[in-house]
Amino acid sequence: MSLGVCKVHIPQATNWLANKLVNIDGIVAEENRKSSANADALGKSFGSHVPPELMGEIFAIDIRSSVSHSQFAVRARTYDLSIIPIYPYAAMEYFAEGLVFESGRPVLLMPELKSSALTFDRITIAWDGSRVAARALADAIPLAGMATSIAVVQIVGDKDLSRAASAADAVRNLTLHGLKAEAIELPLEGGDAGETIQAFCQHHASNLLVMGAFGHSRAREFVLGGVTKTILDHPRLPVLLSH
């Protein structure tokens, strides 16, 4: 396991008047020092929770303004999984979108949980028979091996599924990997598939949702599918996203 952290690096000002009046260079240097210290503290905390045999690298990426996904996406392409915390900030959602669509690897979104215990023993796989759903299914197999309950949920009433791979076929694929799963058809509620699948997860005490992410980037603006946007905006449980 490796850790990537951001270090804010504010360039020094060249305004002599600002330096004379408020010592702007001193303020900038102090903020840079604080960011570096915070990054080091995060690295030490991470290292204290990860067994030595699983410990990888800890790397810092200098940023000049807002957090950018691009540098992290390049690094993530050579790792099996990226895990990122999700906070209700637009910048964090944009970062998550970029990592999902540009890293080529699955991304685990981690909202703040009420319980400190983290287990993935009850997994829900959102299935619509699409290419991205198939990718998510394959990416989830290593985690699914730890589960005692796997539900492959297909929402009925949201889109035409007549030409899609069936949930039963997804269950068959999991069975071939030695995993026991159940196919479930779930009626759409309130016209929002994202809310429907998360309500199912809460009702069945799922602790991991697996789904494919729909969307693309045009002129650096992400155009998201409805379900993907709902999940990114308000994830109620850990979510494994693949694209």
Strand partners, 84: 109
Q: How much is the pLDDT for 74?
A: 87
Sign of CA dihedral 202, 226, 171, 85: negative
Phi, psi (rounded to 5 degrees) for 169: -70, -35
* C-beta of residue 63 within 8 angstroms of C-beta of residue 6: yes
Given pLDDT bands bounded at 50, 70 and 90, which one contains residue 225? Answer: low
Measured in residues, the chain has a length of 243
Which amino acid, one-letter code, is at 10? I
Q: How much is the pLDDT for 83?
A: 87
Please check the confidence at residue 212 and state whether its pLDDT lies above 50: yes
Please check the confidence at residue 113 and state whether its pLDDT lies above 60: yes
How do residues 46-96 score in pLDDT, each as one tens digit?
Answer: 778 778 887 888 877 777 655 667 778 888 898 888 888 887 666 677 788
Given pLDDT bands bounded at 50, 70 and 90, which one contains residue 219? Answer: very low
Q: How much is the pLDDT for 90?
A: 65
Given pLDDT bands bounded at 50, 70 and 90, which one contains residue 220? Answer: very low
**Rounded mean pLDDT, 168-191:** 93
CA-based diameter of the chain, in Å? 72
Please check the confidence at residue 159 and state whether its pLDDT lies above 50: yes
- HEC profile for the chain? CCEEEEEECCCCCCCHHHHHHHCHHHHHHHHHHHHHHHHHHHHHHHHHHCCHHHCCCEEEEEECCCCCHHHHHHHHCCCCCEEEECCCCHHHHHHHHHHHHHHCCCEEEECCCCCCCCCCCEEEEECCCCHHHHHHHHHHHHHHCCCCEEEEEEEECCCCCCCCCCHHHHHHHHHHCCCCCEEEEEECCCCCHHHHHHHHHHHCCCCEEEEECCEEEECCEEEECHHHHHHHHCCCCCEEEEC
Q: How much is the pLDDT for 184?
A: 95
Distance CA 228, CA 77 (A): 21
